[in-house]
Structures are given as C-alpha cells and as structure tokens.
Structure 1
Amino acid sequence: MRRRYLMLLAAPLLASSVALAPAHVAQAATVGTSGVEQAVKVTKVEVVTLLKPGETVECNGTPVAMAFDGKVTATGPGTVRYHWTVNAGRARVSPGTFAFGAGTSTKVSLQVVDMPAPRNAKAVTGYVTLHLPDQKKSVRSEQVTFPCKK
C-alpha cells in the first residue's frame, strides 16, 4: 500500500517536469547572446560592386579605392552580426550589426577598400567577402579589375 501511495504522489511531479522540459529547451534556442529573443531569419545576402570593372586608374604607388555594398534581407526582429574580409585575407574588417524590426527589411553596409596600386602595375585587382557568422553565411563579391592608365 505504501509503495502504491508513493507512486501516486510522484506521478504528477514527473509529468510536470517532463512537460516543462520541451518549453525550456525551445526558449533557450531563441535567446541570443545579448539575452534578447532572436527571431530574425536572413533570407538573402548579396555584395554589389559600386565601381564598374574596367575603369582605368592611376597606378603610381598610392592605393586605389574600391567600393562595395553588402545587402542583407531578413524577416523578424533581432540583430545580425557581420564583418568583411579583403581578398584572401583572414583579418576581419569593419565588424558591425544590423538591427531588424518585425516584418521583412533590407539593410546595407558600404565598404570602401584601399587596394595597393604599385608603380608600373598593369592592373589592380581585388574582391571582398561579407560574413554573417551567426547565420553561417558568407558571400563574395565579383573580382574587380581596374587596368592602370598608361
């Protein structure tokens, strides 16, 4: 009798702890590093070259500026961290965050990169990559080549 009585007391306790576990796990998965609930979903990432390839530049030892726009489209509230890399380099350049509200919107980050233009070079070539580490997404721009003026 005593054993049956203990089982009856323990049954509601076990049921309530099992019912709480999935809700707790689901909540933990949506909380970001800042403690704010993250419901943002990135739907599109692109990098646009602002200067047209093929334009000629002065190759006199001073760097040549190349401009790129990083466009991130997302749905839902939350923040999206990003940073840039230049060419094959691993150094993070211009890190930042985009803050998205409810609904779908697009945010843009302008990145201007100074590419070396050695004297007597035939051309200056470069590209950038936009990284979204939390979404595990990276998008590379097209490779841009500027012939040097003669």
Structure 2
Amino acid sequence: MRSGVLILGAAALVGTIGAALYMFARDDVGVRRGRVLYGANCASCHGENLEGQPDWRSPGSDGRYPAPPHDVTGHTWHHSDADLVAYITLGGEAALAQMGVAFDSGMPDFGDVLSQSDIVDILTYIKSSWSERERTVQAKRTMAGSN
C-alpha cells in the first residue's frame, strides 16, 4: 500500500506543480536549497558535480549499473517529472516495477527521508545545470506524461 500512496503522491505533486518544476530551474532559492540536499543525499553516488559514477553504462560484477550522471551527459533529462519524483520517492526498483519494468536498480528509496518539497528542490538544482535544450525536452516530456 505504501507504494500506491507514494505514487499517487508523486502524481499529485506533478499534477499540481509539474509545469512549475521547469520554471523552478531558475529559482535561486530552490537551486541553493537543492544543492545542499543533493550534497547530503545524492552526491555520494551521483557525484558532487552531478557526474555520476565511472562506467555508468555498464553493469558491475553484481549486475547493477553504477549511478548515472544527472548533468547533460546522463539520461535524467529524458524522463518526466512524475517518473523522476517516483524514482526518488520509491527507489529505482519499485518505481520501475510500477512502470512494468523489471530492473535491479541500486537506487534506494528516499520517501521516508525527503519531503516532496525537498525532492522538488533537488530536481530544481539538477535542472539548473542543464542547457535550455535539455530543460525544454524534459518539460515537454513532463507535460506529455511520458517517461
């Protein structure tokens, strides 16, 4: 039941402010707060500078892929806000299972650690590193509801 509630929460979050997340990419307060939250919760795996882990496109000996970058060299900007919020909230494996994808993801869930406001600020910080092109592509995917 926890998953269903969180997915609904993520959908409600995006339904309410999905378009605003794109605009928040230029919000200095959100970027500063998101940078601090990212440093405390994400940087140990995804890198201090959003660079991800080495060889992130190849599975490790355990079959899991290393943490991808969140800058323009990665694929974060290829996903809608709803999918990004679900991935952070539920963790990779559970979020992907909700989408019908079986994948052994190393991404832990942060639903009990980060508030929805925290997640928005982290995404705001990440998006602030993207060019206008990546933000526009990602905003269109968010509006279309695609992953």
TM range (shorter): under 0.3
Larger RCO, structure (CA 8 Å, separation 6 or more): 2
TM-score, normalised to structure 1, is: 0.23
Q: Which has the higher helix share?
A: 2
Larger radius of gyration: 1
TM-score, normalised to structure 2, is: 0.23
Q: Which has the higher strand share?
A: 1
